[in-house]
Structure 1
Amino acid sequence: MLQLARLLQLASPALPVGAYTYSQGLEWAVESGVIRDEAGAGRWIADLLHNGIGSYEAPLVVALMAAWSAGDVGEIDCLNAEFLASRESAELRAETAQMGFSMRRLLRDLRDDSLGGVITTVEALPEVAFPTVWSGIAAAWQIDPEAALTAYLWSWAENQVMAALKAVPLGQAAGQRLLADLGRQIPDVTVNRKNWPKTKWSNFTPAFAIACARHETQYSRLFRS
């Protein structure tokens, strides 16, 4: 059960990386009227789950875990650089870099000898993305890749729903309905995207990129991205 406990720790909103401060463009979608209610929030988050994070970040996390397990530092460096380059807006890039920095700092604070190799590798990187460090810890803790990806997607979905609760705003019951629906979709994304070859990876979501860019200059906002 140790791997399960470790996985819950990685997926917990208590992880001190500041994920709760980001909406990834959702706040602008609310401001612009694209999201007005529970149904709109559900469509927005589900679309990103299948066509954004599910089509690019999901297979990348699995590939990173494989690289960490194999000790392939060159592949880790390459995937880290590619993910940083894939962030379309300044704040999206800052988000993953800031959360990656927080995860890198947490590595030493955990005082776990099993993370020594991860510490050495990420400290050699000039800038590290959040999924790079997260997947390194998951691999070092010998968490099953499919379970790890499911938890990674759940954590992302939970953060998006929490942002919708504040920005729309929605009630707690609506948030739980959204999470229940997204939870039903996550296993399918995990199974179908975990072994995607790089030739199929795609983060082509132009409306999402525009929302993130416009959020940067939004007059009044609660979230950093």
Structure 2
Amino acid sequence: MLQLARLLQLTSPVLPVGAYTYSQGLEWAVETGVIRDEESAGRWIADLLQHGIGRYEAPLVAALMAAWSAANTWEIARLNGEFLASREAAELRAETAQMGFSLARLVRDLRDPDLARVESTLATLAEIAFPTGWAGIAAGWQIAPPAAVTAYLWSWAENQVMAALKAVPLGQASGQRLLAELGRQIPAVVTEALQLPEAQWSNFTPAYAIACARHETQYSRLFRS
């Protein structure tokens, strides 16, 4: 039960990392009419879950958790650098670095002996990607990788839906229908991610990259990315 409580804490919307201030290009898709209603919002988020986040960030989190559990600091640093290099837009890189910095500060402020090694390892990284810090906390709290990756994807999907609720805008019932459908898809994405070899990881999602880059010069916006 303690691991479940810790996992809920790690995926809570009140986790002080500022995730709610980012839309990851979704706001630009709304601005241009690509996302205009519940159906188009669901299609955008689900496609990104299936073909981007689920095939890169999800297996990355699992690999990072294995590296943290093995105290393999070289592998942690390598995967951290790979993720930072994979960010297609300046906003995306700034987002993950800011959230990673906030996680490192949270680890310090928690004063949890189970996270002491995580704190010291993060301090050696010049720039911390959000998945790196998140996976370190999950591993330090001994959360099972399938549960951790499921929760990571759910947290991402929830944030995307919250952004759509504000930007489209959509009603609360639409948001819950979107989350129900995304939740139905997540288990299969997790199963594939846990078995996917690194040579097959892929974040090739051109429309997403263009949306994130275009958002940087969007005149009127609510979100930082």
TM-score scaled by length of structure 2: 0.99
Give 2:115's aligned amino acid: L
Alpha-carbon displacement from aligned partner over 1:100-130 (angstroms, at most 9, x marks no partner): 0000000011110110100010001000000
Name the counterpart of 1:112: 112
Deviation for aligned residue 1:193:
1.2
Alpha-carbon displacement from aligned partner over 1:73-101 (angstroms, at most 9, x marks no partner): 00000000000000000000000000000
Name the counterpart of 2:37: 37
Asked if 2 retains the 8 angstrom alpha-carbon contact of 1:97 and 1:129, the reply is: yes
Cα distance in 2 between the residues matched to 1:21 and 1:48: 19
**Matches for 1:181-200 after TM superposition, within 5 Å:** 181-200=181-200
| SS at 2:24 equivalent | coil
Name the counterpart of 1:176: 176
CA RMSD of aligned residues (A): 0.4
Name the counterpart of 1:23: 23
Deviation for aligned residue 1:192:
1.1
Identical columns (%): 77
Asked if 2 retains the 8 angstrom alpha-carbon contact of 1:65 and 1:145, the reply is: yes
Cα distance in 2 between the residues matched to 1:162 and 1:111: 31
| Correspondence 1:212 to 2:209 | no
Cα distance in 2 between the residues matched to 1:174 and 1:52: 23
Cα distance in 1 between the residues matched to 2:124 and 2:118: 10
Deviation for aligned residue 1:10:
0.4
Deviation for aligned residue 1:163:
0.0
Give 1:46's aligned amino acid: A
- The gaps in structure 1 that reach 5 residues or longer are none
| SS at 1:194 equivalent | helix
Deviation for aligned residue 1:30:
0.3
| SS at 2:56 equivalent | helix
Alpha-carbon displacement from aligned partner over 1:154-201 (angstroms, at most 9, x marks no partner): 000000000000000000000000000000000010011112111100
Cα distance in 2 between the residues matched to 1:195 and 1:21: 32
Give 1:36's aligned amino acid: R
Number of aligned residue pairs? 225
Cα distance in 2 between the residues matched to 1:140 and 1:16: 18
Cα distance in 2 between the residues matched to 1:105 and 1:195: 32
Alpha-carbon displacement from aligned partner over 1:11-70 (angstroms, at most 9, x marks no partner): 100100000000000000000010010000000000000001001000000000000000
TM-score scaled by length of structure 1: 0.99
